[in-house]
Structure 1
Amino acid sequence: MTTTDGTSPRTEGPFRLLPGRTDDEWLLLDAESADPTYVPREALPDDAVVGNCIDADISWDGEDPVVESATIETTTTVEFVRTEAVIFEAAQNCFEAARAEGEAMNSRVTYNTDNEANGVLYTFAEQAGSRDLFEEFRDGLKPLEPLIARAAQPEEVDPPFSVFVIDPEEPFVVVYIVLDPDGLLDETVRDTYL
């Protein structure tokens, strides 16, 4: 595949890093278009982890993408977990408020004991039929990027964040964006669900 001037087409990041289809690859999800590109794990820095925002230049050699350069732009992390643990009260209340209004999605800001914002919580009602929202978030079909971008705006905070996509034994999926990845809330969520 070449462009009209005979060169290989190029794609530039930023990309959100997600798990690939196998353990040998990464999914780079274009942060603006949500177009997926699968690349070999060895094409990215060794310290890259799921959720990082990657600045990368990619060229195309036939059908295969070639990573020309890649750097980690922000160290936001994303954890995907299915759990039998009881889901926390704020998530339950957020979902119940959506259900009472007949809505499929709801969000709210959470606060610590000093009344400072410490997270942004989203709940998404499970869809009838064969859709699996948890898998759609994991596979990039339902992008996390708009949620992560919105989390920074009201409280004027900058990444990195910790993002938890949690599929509890409830009729909803939780996306919890913790604003301080080194704080007590992050530690609590990890200890409870990971």
Structure 2
Amino acid sequence: MDPTTSGRFRVHDRRPRPDIEGADGEPVAGAEAADRETIDTSDADDVAPPEEFVLVEHAEGPVDPNEPDAGDRFDPMYATAEGYDGDLGERVASLKPGHVVDATLAWTDGSARFSAVEVVCETRFRYADGVEGMFEAAVDAWQSLRADGEAVGSVPTRSTDGDPNGALYLFADGPGGDTFDDLRAGRLPIEPLVARVNASRADADPREVFVLAPADHEFVAVYVVFDRDGVLAQTVRDTYDLAPGLAAGLDSAVPDAARADDETGQDEDTGRIDGTEDDADGVDDFDALDRL
């Protein structure tokens, strides 16, 4: 009987399975399966590789980085995305990046497959690299961080009515950096950022999480939008062509729907980026370096 693992997981991404074996089917020397790096060792015909899900443990609340197992808690695991039948096949096919699932994984020869899965929250993760026209709130907050010599930071955003609508996290990504790839692959965890937002909000609504790497700036933004079905999430999707967004003709733009506090996100008296104080919605006293 195959060993199993049961629990609550975040579907972090769905992607083609990297080739970590040689042409003879044996593991490539020095290749770590946990890293899942692509190693092309054959001249086989150009056949699309099978797809897999990247899964991470779901956090019910904020994680203390000083806990003994905090360093390994969000290590990614991988489950086959294809080859299921019947009702289970329909459930697996419907899974999207960002979904939270209760699942049982069966392990055979080191590979995991779903033996049961149920979606419990339909949060969505969306990834975009090389985006043009990064919205002003992110650029202004990043410039303030760099002026202070910081490589990572956070800022809450608000609607034009002043209501909190998102938590924006920014990470340096200089020449030769791979921050976007590390975030998408789960090597840098997004889950603690979402857990902080969820713990600070009175609702349990699904979120929309955008991981955006601008073409013209050396940072990566992780934008946790509080309302997945709200105007802000729709606007970001529409602006960066990530999914059907606002209806045609609606005159709105991300800089108007998402304003950093005090426009720049910087307190005029202290010089601190808003969102690092205890009263910031979704980013209360969160240090993005806790697990990064």
**TM class, shorter-length:** 0.7 to 0.9
Identity %: 35
Alignment match of 2:10 (pick from 10, 16, 27): 16
Over 3 Å counting, the alpha-carbon distance change for 1:113 and 1:104 in structure 2 is same
CA deviation map 1:128-155 (0-9, x unaligned): 6x44010001101001100111112333
Alignment match of 2:199 (pick from 145, 149, 153): 153
Residue pairs, 1:129-140, within 5 angstroms: 130-140=176-186
Alignment-mate amino acid for residue 30 of structure 1: E
Alignment-mate amino acid for residue 31 of structure 1: H
The residue number in structure 1 matching 2:56 is: 29
CA deviation map 1:4-37 (0-9, x unaligned): xxx6443222212112343522112223522322
The 2-side partners of 1:21 and 1:86 are apart by 29
3-state secondary structure, aligned to 1:177? strand
The 2-side partners of 1:157 and 1:107 are apart by 21
3-state secondary structure, aligned to 2:92? coil
Residue pairs, 1:32-181, within 5 angstroms: 33-42=73-82, 45-127=92-174, 130-169=176-215, 170-181=217-228
Q: Higher helix fraction: Structure 1 or Structure 2?
A: 1
Alignment-mate amino acid for residue 206 of structure 2: P
Comparing 61-70 and 115-124, the one that deviates more = 61-70
3-state secondary structure, aligned to 1:20? strand
Asked whether the 8 Å contact 1:94–1:122 carries over to 2, the reply is no
- State which structure, 1 or 2, has the greater radius of gyration over its C-alpha atoms: 2
The 1-side partners of 2:92 and 2:113 are apart by 14
Root-mean-square deviation (CA, aligned residues, Å) is 1.9
Q: What is the TM-score when the length of structure 2 is the normalising length?
A: 0.59
3-state secondary structure, aligned to 1:50? coil
Show structure 2 runs of 5+ residues with no match. Answer: 18-49, 60-72, 85-90, 242-292
Alignment-mate amino acid for residue 6 of structure 2: E
Over 3 Å counting, the alpha-carbon distance change for 1:40 and 1:189 in structure 2 is same
Asked whether the 8 Å contact 2:80–2:112 carries over to 1, the reply is no
Show structure 1 runs of 5+ residues with no match. Answer: 1-6
The 2-side partners of 1:157 and 1:103 are apart by 32
CA deviation map 1:25-51 (0-9, x unaligned): 211222352232222213552221111
The runs of at least 4 aligned residues of structure 1 exceeding 4 Å deviation read none
CA apart distance, 1:127:
4.5
Over 3 Å counting, the alpha-carbon distance change for 1:60 and 1:84 in structure 2 is closer
The 1-side partners of 2:132 and 2:113 are apart by 41
How many residue pairs are counted as aligned between the two chains? 187
Alignment-mate amino acid for residue 64 of structure 1: S
